[in-house]
Amino acid sequence: MPTVTVREALNQALDEEMARDRRVFIIGEEVGHYNGPYKVTQGLLAKYGEDRVLDTPIAEEGFAGIGIGAALVGLRPVVEFMTWNFSLVALDQIVNNAAKIRYMSGGQFELPIVFRGPQGAGGALAAQHSQIFENYYAYVPGLKVVAGGTAKDMKGLLKAAIRDDDPVIFLESEKMYNLSGEIPEGEYLIPIGKADVKKEGTDLTLIAWGLTLTYALQAAHEMEKEKISVEVVDPRTLRPLDLSTILASVAKTHRVLIVQEAWPIASFGEHIAYLIQKEAFDELDAPVEILSSEDVPMPYAFPLEELVLPNVAKIQAHIRHMLS
């Protein structure tokens, strides 16, 4: 199988879907003539023209609203936020319009739109540009929330999201774009709402998604040297959540550590922990634990950013503590 970066995988997904369906178009800041702030849309303007790759002013509420209107009349827009931090400006459009139109119209309107872009730490981008938004949007009925963690998954999930008839929040990470992985040859889709067991294990279940999946897998493989067998489960999509795959792993290992880049309070990891104790309490040999970022605004300095975020060493220490 070919090896590509996450950036290239996302670009392939956009290219293939634009070639397949003329209703698909991209709109956002610097997506066209600059080839995208993170080069995810590189080459698409030259291939598809300005009618389908639209550069916008710095006006998230405006171009999010344009995308919603376009979806209502039958197009399939992909709205790129330069960072999900900027989506706060468009929160009214996403939450009060995109998420609710299908329900409030009694199903008369579909809203096939994807909102995508990077969230989380990007490397010395400081507090206003380093936040996690998965819990903001997973909270809202009417939105689907996708947070893949590998090149293969990101390509297949983005293609599925573009074909979906509901609004999809597609979460990426600036630190993931250069990560590489194998992808299948030819076209493939990964269904929204299906988790994946990335590594089999017997002693503890490690649940991680997005960027933290990379750290979780590294930690799990390192623990093998200590004869500790860790199973790694990647939800891939947070709403809808594939709880059955998670519970099957819990029944197998009886211990759970959730790793997330989000702050600890009111996080999506806490929601998963609640569901596990509600549905599989008798399977647990120890309380569910959560490793989050530190509960502080993100510092600017690189060394301080590393102190705030989860990492391989922190995951290993948590695993040792839970099995001690």
Active site residues: 60, 129
Q: Annotate 134-176 with DSSP letters as a single string.
A: HHHHHTSTT-EEE---SHHHHHHHHHHHHH-SS-EEEEEETTT
Place of tokens 């493989």: 221
Tokens of 208: 């991680």
Neighbours of 205 (CB within 10 A): 26
For residues 63 and 88, the answer to whether their CB atoms sit within 8 Å is: no
The strand pairing partners of 196, in sequence order, are 234
Tokens of 173: 């990470």
Amino acid, single-letter form, for residue 104: M
Q: Cis before residue 240, ω within 30 degrees of 0?
A: yes
**231: Cβ–Cβ under 8 A, 6 or more apart, which residues?**
197, 199, 200, 201, 202, 204, 205, 206, 220, 249, 252, 253
